[in-house]
Amino acid sequence: MATIGIAFGNSSTSFATIKDGKIDVIANPDGERFISSALSYVDGDEYHGQQALAQLVRNPRSTIVNFRDFIGVPFTDINDEYSKYAAHPVEFNGKVGYEINGNKLSIDEIVKRHLKQIKNAAEDYLGQSIESTVITVPTNFTETQKENLVKIAADAGLKVSQLINEPSAALLAHLSNKEQLLEDKLYVVADFGGIRSDAAVVAVRGGIMTLLATEHSTKLGGAELDQSLIDFFAADFQKKFKADAKKTEKSYSKLSAAATITKKTLSNVQTANVSVDSLSDGFDYMSSINRLRFELVGRKVFSEMTQFIESLVKKAGLETLDIESVLLVGGTSNIPKVANTLALVFPESTEIYAPAIDSKLPNPNELNCRGAAIQASLIAGFDAEEIKESLEPVVVNTEHIQAPIGIKDAEGKFTTILPRETAYPIKKSISFTAASDNVEIEFYEGKRSIKETVVEPEQYSDDEEDEEEEEPEVIREVEYVPGTLLGKMVLKGAESGKKVDVIVQIDRDGKMRLTGRSGDVVVKGEVSQA
Amino acid sequence: MALLPWPYLRLDISAAINIKLKMSFTAAASYTAAVKRPVEPVGPYFLAHATRTLKGHSWSEYEQIEASKNVVNVEERDADEDLFDAEISDPELLSHDPRDWKSCDLYAALGLSKLRVNATPDQIVKAHRKAVLQHHPDKKSSAGGNLDQDGFFKIIQKAFETLLDPVKRRQFDSVDESAEVAPPANKCATEEEFYAAWAPVFVAESRFSNKQPAPQLGDSNSTKEEVESFYKFWNNLDSWRSFEWLDEDVPDDTSNRDHKRYIEKKNNNSRKKKKNDDNKRLSDLVKRAQAEDPRIKKFKEDEKAEKARKKWEREAGSRKAEEEAKAKAEAEAKAKAEAEALAKAEKENQKKSKEAAKNAKKKNKRTIRGAAKDNEYFGDAGQQSVIDADIDLLIESFDDVLLAEVAGKLKDAKADTAKQIFIDAGAQQLAAGKVSSLSYFK
């Protein structure tokens, strides 16, 4: 019996399992690790994944793509833009359905068939039946959508033990991989997918994650970049052959498929070829494009991504200065330009986790399913009742402190013990060296302030006559300074040079217990919540 | 975690007070109100949080529970492994003729020489598996040995067959010499030596007892009942020991039935004889132990002492009368002796006082006689003889009292007073008619 984690996306689905403590992202029988979420019905045969996607050119009307977001949504509310060159969604009992070769299929049936394919691939790979699974969903999935998905999965023979949010899954995978789960940091998890982008500000505190804000866009993603490339190639084709590459659906699909491949290739190399036989009017198209050209072509999309993230941070009531780390997720995050443009938004101290910056990182497209697999194996030992109980509001809804709590160090600076947005009950301790025999510890709430440092531009000594005076650069940094004094503690007889432990503990009722300890000298105090 | 430097203590007033009071925390303000948010139900730390919340554990309780859970289970080592022999205890076994396997130490062949009769079937199976792994002919041949050298492996297989069959195992155990413990050759000098030497003998013999557990020798603290029941048990031991193992092989040659019967009969007789011998051996052994047992001796002595004490108590009445008579006689004799001593002392005292009186008289007489001479005869030296004669007369006439009186008066008297004393005394004596006449003192 095995557990798997599934990241079910609009454009691709991937799944992973944990084997001997190692996360294994499973490939389907075709060798795909990012299985295209596509189904195609041609001549009574079902095609899945890349094979189905290939049918888009010849059998667009019997090929279903980008359907995940249609689960549990009334037909009237859907955006069918991304199904333009594939099977069109039709109304089916008020919900979404597809008419394939004259048969009407509900969205539930399509998803079921897709998940069944996934399940079979997983069981083939593992050689054993799947006991339970964890599936990731976007943070804006409604309860109805979630219920629908669980039901459909059950019909497909998959027992869903938990649905988890995509950003948390990705972050869990990332932090577990880096063993940084216990480092308190403020993350932006940016998931740039095929046809949509999602991002979230996540506070990681004591291994527990809290979403502070989320942002979604269904008009941003890899498809937009494909579109830019298609337009670019079409213009080029027009110029070369005086023919319209987008004239027919077929030619459009051909060019689209080629553009996608070219885009993916450019993530790894500087120059990529594009080649489409008989694109339009019998003309073959052959061209090459370098990364810089691509970045220029997709400039608009990249800047939209930046805006998207900036608006998210704003939504969280923060500045980009507050963000300590950015994790890039999703296939589109493979593009180096995405990481590079985002790096410009955040201060230099912010770490950006993207394959373009650290090639050792796992593929950003895998993060969601990795996280799901981790979660699936974590809860494998619990029964359904226990899992249900732990998802109750009484457990999940937790008080979070709003200002950091810390102490004043030797230079009068604020040293954080519990950062803001830490969920309690919590217990945390830090250690110091006593500088004298008697030590006074002052507990403060930290107050956010912006530190501005002016960096003089480097003086160029060469003869270039650059008349323009370079403006001095101002580096802004968020720092916390001691704010409200919460309490003072005197440790008498701490002995100079010895270790002093400072423990801050907040219990369920919000009562804060402060402890200072040096050897046998222990002082305790209590501070209440306003 | 990095250790940061710490501020020196600033002794402001409040701190100084706190130091004095030793109460050293002062709360200044409350912290900002918290906001309720859902946490993401993913990851190990959320599960910990959920468990804490649902089970209502406090943080430290949870830590304790987790700590007890996270004990690393070191791979459990089979305890039996330690009981098996690390190496073949008797190297001779390796070259033993497998046809003569009955004479082998089968336990040693399986590496069970420490456990022997106590080995459980489970342990035998394990030991056999281990021995086979080590001594299988395939293993030997792969190490370059000759395939024919499987003698010891055959012995191992025979040993395994025998020891797993409870009947055969008893037969082998009956004659397992290596399990025997010989009693000490000589009588043990000390009590401790006795227990040390004999206890293993009985432990070894216990294996033959049908009744388990068999009572053991014990030590100097054992009670009389224990010791008695011990010897009672061993004197009447119900032993399963038998001697089939030493039987001569019965030929399964059907043609010579007589010979077969003869051998069987011979075997039966020899078994009986051996069993009898063994019973005798055991009974001798127990008798010897009983005879040498210091506790039995002690119990006998105790009994004797007890008897003596009882007798003593029984005779207590007559002994008392005798004592009283003796005391009376002694008291009488003592009183008599005391009286005698008293009388004797009195007599001596009288004698002494008499002598003293005599001496005093003599002294007085001398004083009186001397008085005339000392006073130059009162000036009448010519009448010396007369005076002396008178004085002698007076002295003769004086009784003891008068003598002392006169002597006392004369002692320090002058010539005239002395003469007057004599005259007074003479007159007194004359008047009393004690002296007829005095020539000088008239």
Contacts of A168 in chain B (CB under 8 A): 40, 42-43
The phi-psi region of residue B172 (left if phi > 0; otherwise alpha if psi is between -120 and 50; otherwise beta) is alpha
Please indicate if any CB of chain A lies within 8 Å of the CB of B46. yes
Going through A296-425 in order, the beta strands assigned E by DSSP cover 325-329, 351-353, 397-400, 405-408, 414-418
Instruction: Provide mean pLDDT across the span A208-235.
Output: 93
User: A206-230 as b/e, with b when 16 or more CB fall inside 10 Å?
Assistant: bbbbbbbbbbbbbebbbbbbbebbb
CATH code reported for the domain at B79-179: 1.10.287
Nearest to B3 among A431, A438, A485 (CB): A431
For A356-410, what is each residue's pLDDT tens digit? 888 889 999 999 999 999 999 989 888 888 888 888 888 888 889 999 999 888 7
Identify residue A519 by its one-letter amino acid code: G
A45-49, A72-76, B2-6: range with lowest mean pLDDT: B2-6
Q: What is the pLDDT of residue A339?
A: 92
Q: Provide the percentage of residues in chain A whose pLDDT is more than 90.
A: 58
Instruction: Provide mean pLDDT across the span A206-217.
Output: 92
At residue A517, does pLDDT exceed 50?
A: yes
CA distance A69 to chain B (A): 22
Q: What is the pLDDT of residue A118?
A: 93
**Which is it for strands A426-433 and A499-506: parallel, antiparallel or unpaired?**
antiparallel
A35-49, A211-225, A483-497: range with lowest mean pLDDT: A483-497
Q: What is the pLDDT of residue B21?
A: 47
Q: What is the pLDDT of residue A108?
A: 93
Select the more confidently predicted residue: A106 or B361.
A106
Instruction: Say whether pTM exceeds 0.90.
Output: no
Interface contact B5-A433, CB threshold 8 A: yes
CATH topology of domain A222-299: Actin; Chain A, domain 4 (3.90.640)
Nearest to A168 among B8, B15, B40 (CB): B40
CATH code reported for the domain at A405-527: 2.60.34.10
For A280-290, what is each residue's pLDDT tens digit? 888 999 999 99
At residue A210, does pLDDT exceed 90?
A: yes
Looking at every residue in chain A, the average pLDDT score rounds to 89
Q: What is the pLDDT of residue B155?
A: 87
At residue A95, does pLDDT exceed 60?
A: yes
Please indicate if any CB of chain A lies within 8 Å of the CB of B17. no
Domain extent listing, chain A = 2-158, 222-299, 405-527
Interface contact B32-A445, CB threshold 8 A: yes
- Choose the CATH number for B352-442 among 3.40.718.10, 1.10.8.840, 2.60.120.560, 1.20.1420.30: 1.10.8.840
pLDDT band at A256 (very low <50, low <70, confident <90, very high): very high
Residue with tokens 């003891």: B400
Q: What is the pLDDT of residue A151?
A: 95
Residue of A nearest to B12 (CA): A440
Handedness of CA B97, B100, B103, B108 (dihedral sign): positive
Q: What is the pLDDT of residue B342?
A: 93
Select the more confidently predicted residue: A143 or B96.
A143
Query: CA-CA distance, B149 to B179, in Å (whole number)?
Result: 29
Interface contact B6-A434, CB threshold 8 A: yes
Q: What is the pLDDT of residue B9?
A: 45
CA distance A170 to chain B (A): 11
pLDDT band at A467 (very low <50, low <70, confident <90, very high): low
Instruction: Provide mean pLDDT across the span A85-98.
Output: 91
**Residue of A146, A163, A208, A448 for testing the chain B interface, max B β-carbons within 10 Å:** A208
Q: What is the pLDDT of residue A117?
A: 93
The angle at the Cα of A249, spanning A248 to A251, to the nearest 5 degrees, equals 65
Q: What is the pLDDT of residue A461?
A: 55
Domain extent listing, chain B = 79-179, 191-306, 352-442
Contacts of B36 in chain A (CB under 8 A): 397-400
For A229-242, what is each residue's pLDDT tens digit? 999 999 999 999 99
Q: What is the pLDDT of residue B214?
A: 84
Nearest to A210 among B19, B39, B51 (CB): B39
For A300-328, what is each residue's pLDDT tens digit? 999 999 999 999 999 999 999 999 999 99
Please indicate if any CB of chain A lies within 8 Å of the CB of B133. no
Going through A306-422 in order, the beta strands assigned E by DSSP cover 325-329, 351-353, 397-400, 405-408, 414-418
**Averaged pLDDT, groups of 10, chain B, 442 residues long:** 48 46 72 87 88 76 67 56 76 81 85 84 87 80 66 87 88 84 77 84 86 84 86 87 83 76 88 90 87 86 91 86 92 94 93 89 80 72 78 79 79 76 80 75 70
Residue B395 tokens read as: 């002295």
Interface contact B54-A390, CB threshold 8 A: yes
Q: What is the pLDDT of residue A475?
A: 83
Interface contact A489-B30, CB threshold 8 A: no
**Which is it for strands A2-8 and A12-19: parallel, antiparallel or unpaired?**
antiparallel
Instruction: Provide mean pLDDT across the span A79-107.
Output: 89
**Identical topology for domains A2-158 and A405-527:** no
For A448-463, what is each residue's pLDDT tens digit? 888 888 877 666 655 5
ipTM of the complex: 0.88
- Contact pairs from chain A to chain B, CB under 8 Å: 215
Q: Tell me if the domain spanning A2-158 has CATH number 3.30.420.40.
A: yes
Interface contact B6-A486, CB threshold 8 A: no
Interface contact B31-A527, CB threshold 8 A: yes
